Chain A
Amino acid sequence: MSGWSQIKGRAVALDARNVDTDQLIPARFMSQPRDQGYGGFLLHDVRSDDAGHVLNRYAPQVLITRENFGSGSSREAAVYALVDFGIKAVFAPSFGDIFSSNAVNNGLLPARVTEAEIDALIDRLGDDDAAAFVDLGTGEAEIAGTKLQFSVDPVWQQKLINGWDDIDMTAQYAAQITEFRGKRLAAHPWAMPTTD
């Protein structure tokens, strides 16, 4: 995964709370291999019921939405759908916990801003798109002419900027892991599943 530090693109608003991962990608698409691209599955059912849906009219890099975005199922496919659609950052007051980790693992920024800021942005954007600039390093953004500060976990910020990969990062601790394993199983033999 390659890192990024700035977005210069377009933003749209999705005026809904609790947009869960079942909506982001309905379960029936999840047997598809990734290399076909998941962008077409993003919010599939709402989009296909509504030709004028904002995501049918624009191809934004930034999504503005309400609280608890990405709640529910741990399906990382929800993030693939967003990323393959071209989205690099989602701004919301809060996110589903597992969704946030999945997002960061795929280069997608879950940026937290206040509810009041979201209200104002959604008002401003309405059903149209607007220019968006996001600076991951400084935690600043300008969307539809409004400047704002967002918060993101500093570890995630570094991961996103550098495109760091956890498996590579963990490799350097292999010796500590092996030592820990030995100690744990010696002290707690019951932790090993019994096999006859």
Chain B
Amino acid sequence: MSAPLTTVHDVPRIGLHDVPRTMLDKLWDAHEVLRRDDGTSLLWVDRHLVHEGSHHGFAKLQARGMQVAEPLLTFGVVDHYAPTRAGEMARDVRHMIDTLARNAAATGIRLFDLRDPGQGIVHVIGPEQGLTLPGLLINCGDSHTSTHGAFGALAFGVGATEVAHILATQTVWQKRPKTMRIVFDGTLSPGVTAKDMALHWISRLGTGGAQGFAVEYAGPAVEALSMEGRMTLCNLSIEGGARLGMVAPDEVTFAYVKGRPFAPRDHAAACADWRALGSDAEAVFDREVTFDAAQIAPTVTWGTSPEEALPITGVVPEAAQSTLEYMGLDAGMPLETVKVDQVFIGSCTNGRIEDLRMAAAVLRGRKARVPGLVSPGSAIVKKQAEDEGLAQVFVDAGLEWADAGCSMCVGMNGDLVETGKRCASSTNRNFKGRQGRGARTHLMSPAMVAAAAVEGRLADVRPLLEGRL
């Protein structure tokens, strides 16, 4: 069965540093155990995050009678199937959660289970716990693993066979992607967020726009983002076709990481290493695209692909009949006239504290015209939002305040949008059936979701935020 494709040689590590390198090059070189002649690299994995969906990976490992190679570098979390409301758990949900618990116990993996104060969505808790650090290679059997690249990490999603491989060997085979830099010049206008930046570039370049590339986000508008904003931006890289998105670590990054439970105790020494990670000034990218942040408006999707997005001031364009039919829209309709049935705030894209603050800023003292669910990204975010009085704002507005998990982003736990219903959602995928069979999803920032709740239709958040930011 097993055979080398070609001979193997060690990677030359000396002399390389004279050539200007991108951040991808630096991260790649630092993790490359070896490279085959065919160009595929075997990379060392610093952190492997698993969730309930990783059951296929564990099953493959067990079928071969193998052990988890590095249980101390592997962390488990219950998120995709996590119930977010009180009540009986459906049998298959319970089964998925129990299976992960069993696998974690049997293999000695630290598990953030439902009762753990650190529980939450894998891409929220990795950073929150200090498991995500600059300079690391992070894998998870989930495409939004690109989120962790916000710290200057090499982070990408893998499939179940690769999960099994990482469990067994703590390494992953990968071809080095091409490099692409997306620069955001200028400054974002008030009420415009990282989510809008992401939807903007994806709508311009398309869902295949960054296929085969590792995206590095740069420029003043990116540097000005908080870690939460950078995570939102990197999270959505996959929706533009890129497996990887990243931002060079800086003082904002270091301050975020400092003192977190699993972060290095010797912060200063780590920072010294991390400061060298950013792309060299003369480094050349295979592709470079620049946007003016000042030109970006609050953006919403109208179709069934994240690239089908427009400024809220736009109208539904001519499009495939099947898409318009699915979405229940007619070409030419102003987006601001599209009525919604419900809203959802949460997910690994926009379920962090800053997202909840923004949404609460819109909702404070106002009532939602439609029902909605707010699910914080983690138990820690939940507690913080309650302490800050944000939870009360949501409840006072008439929205439901739930527990942490993936929730209505994917509906695996039963938080579903009914057939034909239209949901303004802070999530990342408006695919057909994503939030439930026949569900109509419009992606937007949490602030824009809050605006949709207040108006009962897709709405421009900017006037609603006047005097509130």
Interface flag for B204 (CB, 8 Å)? no
Known contacts A68-B208, A98-B243, A176-B33; A169 and B3 CB within 8 A of each other: yes
Residue total for A at the interface (Cβ-Cβ under 8 A) = 61
A31 to B171, CA, bound (A): 26
A194 to B110, CA, bound (A): 13
A72 to B429, CA, bound (A): 8
Q: Are B143 and A190 in contact (CB under 8 A)?
A: no
Interface flag for B273 (CB, 8 Å)? yes
Q: Are B207 and A18 in contact (CB under 8 A)?
A: yes
* B173 neighbours in A (Cβ, 8 Å): 166, 170
Interface flag for A52 (CB, 8 Å)? no
Q: Choose among B38, B96, B161, B263 the residue that contacts A76 (Cβ–Cβ < 8 A).
A: B161
A67 to B207, CA, bound (A): 10
* A101 neighbours in B (Cβ, 8 Å): 158-159, 162
A195 to B73, CA, bound (A): 11
A39 to B5, CA, bound (A): 32
* B56 neighbours in A (Cβ, 8 Å): 34, 76-77
Interface flag for B194 (CB, 8 Å)? no
* A194 neighbours in B (Cβ, 8 Å): 130, 261-265
* B183 neighbours in A (Cβ, 8 Å): none
A98 to B172, CA, bound (A): 13
Q: For the side of the interface on B, what is the size category?
A: 35 or more
* A71 neighbours in B (Cβ, 8 Å): 207-208, 241
Which residues, 114 to 167 on B, are CB-close (under 8 Å) to A?
Answer: 130-131, 133, 135-136, 141-143, 157-162, 164-165
Which residues, 122 to 180 on A, are CB-close (under 8 Å) to B?
Answer: 153-155, 158, 162-174, 176-177, 180
Q: Are A155 and B38 in contact (CB under 8 A)?
A: yes
A residues bordering B, Cβ < 8 Å?
Answer: 16, 18, 20, 22-23, 26-28, 30-31, 33-34, 45, 67-68, 71-77, 79, 94, 96-98, 101-102, 105-106, 153-155, 158, 162-174, 176-177, 180-181, 184, 188-195
B residues bordering A, Cβ < 8 Å?
Answer: 1-5, 8, 30-31, 33-34, 36, 38-40, 42, 44, 46-47, 53, 56, 59, 64, 66, 72-73, 81, 92-93, 95-96, 130-131, 133, 135-136, 141-143, 157-162, 164-165, 168-171, 173, 175, 207-208, 211-212, 238-239, 241-243, 261-266, 269-270, 273, 304-305, 322, 410-412, 429, 431-434, 437-438
Which are the 4 A-B pairs with shortest beta-carbon distances?
A: A168-B2, A102-B159, A190-B264, A105-B161
